[in-house]
């Protein structure tokens, strides 16, 4: 067994700039040249082995988490999310953190969020121009940011909320630039981080002071949470997790929504079918009450549209694990210290797994459970996205509300270009 699969032989600087500036053509051309597994090399990081075969991906997602370390592989995000972020942790600390963070994302809690999510969508819709063309992505960003601020941060209307919001938008804008610009903007990032910390610690202190609270936001739940030994989370831990959820959950959901609307507008049959399903399950008209979780669960076709969009345009193209010891993966025995990257984008477009892979066809998902190593827009194993149920619920509410309240159409003629977005969760985010 050899140690590393082959890969491009151009200098590391070129490989890195291809990954930053034209990630999709770069991944595709590597897959065309080298097949199931290839190694790419950047400056100042270990070699990264991209894989796209379900059997190899299974080995990664079901392997020993003590060996396949996501926290160590995610180090680049530390200046933004902080060292206590779940994204940075491995081993026992990661396990403890997941247990603490999990309950607020439990499916049952979604019931609490429906009304608030619908109000936020309705408020956004009334600001949209009628009869004129406009980009949809900024509106999706506005909606998903408001949802996070309300559901996760529990920030109510008012001045404080806006300050937090504006500061965070600024921080995200900075973080989303390419890594080279991030270095240049370091001083500003440090200043903004201090301002965010001040705001967040004040919010945490306010919650600690209120002995009992019936608030349902996630920050309040984390202040009240206790681990198995009865210990609470520290202020620093809560701060880091709040920033993590904002960074991991805002832009990803907004971009997925924009892609899904794009898919629907480009595919009139799918649009008609989704609209008919929403009318049938939830009803029609401007004054509908917020849908129940049962109604949301019954929107099977809409669910398939969201999945098919995530198959073709996953907003996170790879997940990463750093190996602590030499590990057989696929046809290789990969040495300790290297990074292995299950590639969502390439796996989702393999012709041996998906007939006519480039064709948008939601029916692939209708009434079918797909293997989690063939389709994994939320990653997998012990690191599977904590917000997956929340994000899916939110996307279905937003889309159902739009389909029942407005009639959108594509202004046509435009080609779609994938560009690097503002999500620093992983190296690339894509949006129309």
Pairwise CA distance, residues 284 & 287, whole Å: 8
Q: Are 167 and 189 within 8 A, CB to CB?
A: no
Report DSSP state, residue 268. H
Which of residues 152 and 164 has its CB atom nearest to ligand HEM in the complex?
A: 152
β-pairing verdict for 327-329 and 68-69: unpaired
Nearer to ligand HEM, 41 or 72 (CB): 72
Q: Which of 319, 346, 353, 400 binds ligand HEM (CB under 6 A)?
A: 319
82 vs 249, beta carbon nearer ligand HEM = 249
Among 296, 323, 385, 430, binds ligand HEM (CB under 6 A): 385
- For the chain, the residue count is 432
- The tokens of 265 are what? 């507008």
Q: For residue 39, report the phi and psi dihedrals to the nearest 5 degrees.
A: -110, 130
Taking the CA atoms of residue 300, residue 306, residue 310 and residue 312 in that order, the dihedral angle to the nearest 10 degrees is 90
Q: How far is the CB of 426 from ligand HEM (least distance, A)?
A: 7
Rounded (10°) angle between helices 300-312 and 235-266:
100
Most distant CA pair in the chain, distance: 64
Cα angle 168, 151, 310 (rounded to 5 degrees) comes to: 80
> With respect to ligand HEM, which residue has the nearer C-beta, 12 or 93?
93
Binding mask 67-86 for ligand HEM (x = CB under 6 A): ---x---------------x
Q: Closer to ligand HEM by CB, 52 or 244: give it.
A: 244
Give the residue with the Cβ less far from ligand HEM, 225 or 245.
245
Out of 80, 200, 346, 386, the only residue in the binding site for ligand HEM (CB under 6 A) is 386
Q: What track of x and - describes contact with ligand HEM for positions 189 through 228 (by CB under 6 A)?
A: ----------------------------------------
Cα separation, 65 vs 76, in Å, equals: 20
* 309 contacts ligand HEM (rule: CB under 6 A): no
Q: Is there binding between residue 120 and ligand HEM (CB under 6 A)?
A: no
**Contacting residue, 19, 153, 373, 390, with ligand HEM by CB under 6 A:** 390
306 interacts with ligand HEM by CB under 6 A: no
Residue 379 or 424: the one with the smaller Cβ distance to ligand HEM is 379
CB of 414 to ligand HEM, least distance (A): 23
**Which residues, numbered 360-379, are part of the site for ligand HEM (CB under 6 A)?**
377-379
Establish if 245 lies at the interface with ligand HEM (CB under 6 A): yes
- 105/390 Cα distance (integer angstroms): 6
Tell me how far apart the alpha carbons of residues 400 and 391 are, in angstroms, rounded to a whole number: 14
Ranges within 248-267 binding ligand HEM (CB under 6 A): 248-249, 252-253, 256
Q: Which stretch binds ligand HEM (CB under 6 A): 115-123, 223-231, 282-290, 311-319?
A: 311-319
Judged by CB under 6 A, the chain residues 323 through 342 that form the site for ligand HEM are none
**What region, left, alpha or beta, does residue 82 occupy, with left being phi > 0 and alpha being psi -120 to 50 degrees?**
left
Structure tokens at 191: 């200043």
Give the C-alpha distances (Å, rounded to integers) separating 373 from 57, 58, 59, 381, 416.
6, 6, 9, 10, 28
Q: How is residue 318 written in tokens?
A: 């790879």
- Note the helical H segments in 128-227: 137-151, 159-176, 179-184, 186-209, 218-224
What are the tokens at 209? 């002071």
Residue 418 binding ligand HEM, by CB under 6 A: no
Q: Is 315 in the site for ligand HEM (CB under 6 A)?
A: yes
Tell me how crowded residue 208 is: count the other CB atoms within 10 A of its CB.
13
Q: According to CB under 6 A, which one of 12, 28, 98, 165 is a site residue for ligand HEM?
A: 98
Shortest distance in whole angstroms from residue 203 CB to ligand HEM:
16
Q: Specify the DSSP element, H or E, that contains 342.
A: strand 339-342
Count the residues of the shown chain that bind ligand HEM, applying the rule CB under 6 A: 26
Does position 118 interact with ligand HEM (CB under 6 A)? The reply is: no
- Smallest distance, ligand HEM to C-beta of residue 409, A: 24
In this structure, are strands 68-69 and 321-323 parallel, antiparallel, or unpaired? antiparallel
Look up residue 331 and give its two tokens: 């046809």
For ligand HEM, the binding residues (CB under 6 A) are: 70, 86-87, 98, 152, 244-245, 248-249, 252-253, 256, 315-316, 319, 377-380, 383-387, 390-391
């Amino acid at each position: 067994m050899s140690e590393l699969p082959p890969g491009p032989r151009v200098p590391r600087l070129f490989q890195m700039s291809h990954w930053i500036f034209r990630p999709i053509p770069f991944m595709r051309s590597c897959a065309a040249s080298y097949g199931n597994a290839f190694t790419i090399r950047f400056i100042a990081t270990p070699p990264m082995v991209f894989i796209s075969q379900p059997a190899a991906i299974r080995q990664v997602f079901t392997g020993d988490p003590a060996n396949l370390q996501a926290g160590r592989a995610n180090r680049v995000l530390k200046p933004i999310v902080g060292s206590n972020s779940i994204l940075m942790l491995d081993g026992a600390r990661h396990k403890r953190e997941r247990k603490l963070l999990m309950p607020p994302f439990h499916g049952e809690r979604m019931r609490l969020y429906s009304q608030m999510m619908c109000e936020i969508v309705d408020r956004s819709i009334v600001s949209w121009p009628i009869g004129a063309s406009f980009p949809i992505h900024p509106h999706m960003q506005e909606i998903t940011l408001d949802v996070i601020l309300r559901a996760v941060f529990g920030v109510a209307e008012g001045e404080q909320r806006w300050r937090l919001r504006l500061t965070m938008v600024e921080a995200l804008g900075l973080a989303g630039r390419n890594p080279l610009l991030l270095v240049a903007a370091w001083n500003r990032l440090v200043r903004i981080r201090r301002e965010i910390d001040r705001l967040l610690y004040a919010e945490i202190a306010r919650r600690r002071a209120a002995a009992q609270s019936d608030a349902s936001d996630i920050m309040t739940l984390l202040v009240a949470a206790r681990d198995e030994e009865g210990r609470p989370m520290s202020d620093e831990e809560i701060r880091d997790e709040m920033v993590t959820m904002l960074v991991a959950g805002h832009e990803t959901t907004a971009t997925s929504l924009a892609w899904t609307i794009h898919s629907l507008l480009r595919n009139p049959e799918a649009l008609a079918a989704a609209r008919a399903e929403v009318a049938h399950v939830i009803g029609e008209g401007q004054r509908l009450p917020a849908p129940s979780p049962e109604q949301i669960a019954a929107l099977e076709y809409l669910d398939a549209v969201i999945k098919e969009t995530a198959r073709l345009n996953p907003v996170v193209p790879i997940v990463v694990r750093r190996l602590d010891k030499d590990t057989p993966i696929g046809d290789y025995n990969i040495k300790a210290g290297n990074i292995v990257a299950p590639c969502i984008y390439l796996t989702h477009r393999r012709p041996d797994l998906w007939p006519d892979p480039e064709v948008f066809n939601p029916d692939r998902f209708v009434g079918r459970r797909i293997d989690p190593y063939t389709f994994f827009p939320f990653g997998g194993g012990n690191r599977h996205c904590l917000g997956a149920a929340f994000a899916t619920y939110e996307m279905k509410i937003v889309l159902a509300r739009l389909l029942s309240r407005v009639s959108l159409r594509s202004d046509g003629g435009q080609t779609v270009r994938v560009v690097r977005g503002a999500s620093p969760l992983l190296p690339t985010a894509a949006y129309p």
